[in-house]
């Protein structure tokens, strides 16, 4: 049985490493986490490096040693950020697995559109913590909790300004009823909300808690009926700027908007205009355009009706990230020459 050389570029726990090694006795797993930090610091924006790398991290080994690791790799387990020239330095690379749910972070690297098979952790990358974050954001503005900070700044309470909602009976539209979106819908339904949504292929059984699933072409009709809109879809050419001036006009006045997907799905100029016209009750953004390059735009960050966090919705105290489990299942399939799960379609973008 031939050896499969696997290069790990992202740190995984000892438990997850044991899972990988137990999958196949004929694998050689090389842990290179941290080795490329110096290269990443030199090629990525300073904001990105400071966000993701340990302070003063400069990597390990020489350039020749790192090139040798890449040259021997048939399979790579990657994450964010990563060397942008992986494909040219890894001539034997056949497959790369991303521990993230999405693949948009590969744009700009020489992997995008290449002959390398890329799989993602879509549907397994902490969907429950992300869904709980979305529900927390909804409740933050539904209960008017953002008013507490305004009152504290003013030094007095404005009791009548809170205008709390009862979520039971309200309608939430989930844009992208995939792994994360389905969890958002399930939790919202448990609160007594009516759950509708979209997905690329709307046929089949309804996910738990959903009363309606439509295709993307029906989004405008769903937005007009929704008190809450939760953006959970993949960022692709089709979804870039999906929430634009027209969509904010179509939305029910006074709705709450939550984005736990990617910043580029929302036209931020259109969002700022909708806020200026007082079209939205509140906005929850765990993502924004250019989030790995610079801070949020001041016009949104300074608005008390906008809650912005640094892409932390997937973090929790529970070890439930299923990315390595997806990889292990795919590793068995790879050995047996069976189709892999969550293969990236370059044209579709996920």
Catalytic option among 147, 186, 291, 321: 291
Query: Residue 334: CB partners within 8 Å, gap ≥ 6?
Result: 4, 75, 95, 340
Cα distance between residue 274 and residue 255, in whole Å: 11
Task: Specify whether 97 is catalytic.
Answer: no
Cα distance between residue 96 and residue 19, in whole Å: 18
**Other CB atoms within 10 A of residue 39 CB:** 18
Q: Give phi and psi for 118, each to the nearest 5.
A: -115, 130
Task: Specify whether 262 is catalytic.
Answer: yes
Cα distance between residue 84 and residue 336, in whole Å: 30
Name the CA radius of gyration of the chain, rounded. 22
Q: How many residues in the chain? A: 350
What value, to the nearest 5°, has the Cα angle with vertex 204 and ends 178 and 126? Answer: 20
Greatest distance between any 2 Cα atoms in the chain: 73
Catalytic option among 122, 147, 311, 321: 311
Cα distance between residue 78 and residue 87, in whole Å: 13
Catalytic option among 199, 262, 281, 321: 262
Give catalytic residue positions: 262, 291, 311
């Amino acid at each position: 049985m031939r050896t499969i050389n696997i290069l790990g570029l992202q740190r995984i726990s000892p438990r997850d490493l044991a899972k990988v090694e137990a999958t196949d006795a004929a694998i050689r797993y090389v842990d290179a986490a941290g080795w490329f930090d110096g290269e990443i610091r030199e090629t990525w924006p300073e904001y990105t490096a400071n966000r993701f790398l340990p302070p003063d991290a400069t990597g390990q080994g020489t350039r020749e040693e790192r090139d040798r690791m890449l040259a021997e790799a048939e399979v790579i387990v990657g994450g964010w950020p990563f060397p942008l020239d992986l494909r040219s330095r890894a001539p034997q690379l056949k497959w790369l697995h991303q521990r993230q749910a999405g693949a948009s972070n590969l744009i700009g690297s020489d992997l995008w559109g290449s002959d390398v098979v890329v799989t993602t952790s879509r549907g397994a990358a902490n969907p429950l913590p992300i869904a709980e974050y979305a529900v927390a954001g909804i409740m933050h503005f539904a209960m008017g909790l953002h008013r507490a900070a305004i009152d504290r700044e003013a030094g007095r309470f404005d009791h009548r300004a809170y205008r709390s909602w009862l979520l039971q009976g309200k309608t939430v539209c989930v844009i992208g009823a995939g792994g994360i979106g389905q969890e958002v819908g399930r939790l919202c339904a448990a609160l007594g909300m009516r759950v509708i949504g979209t997905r690329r292929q709307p046929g089949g059984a309804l996910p738990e808690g959903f009363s309606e699933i439509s295709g993307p072409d029906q989004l405008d009709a769903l937005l007009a009926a929704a008190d809450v809109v939760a953006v959970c879809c993949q960022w692709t050419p089709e979804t870039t700027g999906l929430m634009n001036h027209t969509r904010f006009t179509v939305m029910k006045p006074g709705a709450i908007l939550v984005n736990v997907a990617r910043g580029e799905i929302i036209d931020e100029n259109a969002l700022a205009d909708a806020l200026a016209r007082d079209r939205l009750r509140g906005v929850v953004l765990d993502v924004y355009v250019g989030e790995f390059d610079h801070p949020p735009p001041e016009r949104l960050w300074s608005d008390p009706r906008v809650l912005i966090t640094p892409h932390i919705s997937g973090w929790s105290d529970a070890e439930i990230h299923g990315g390595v489990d997806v990889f292990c299942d795919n590793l068995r399939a790879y050995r047996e020459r069976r189709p892999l799960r969550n293969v990236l379609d370059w044209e579709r973008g996920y």
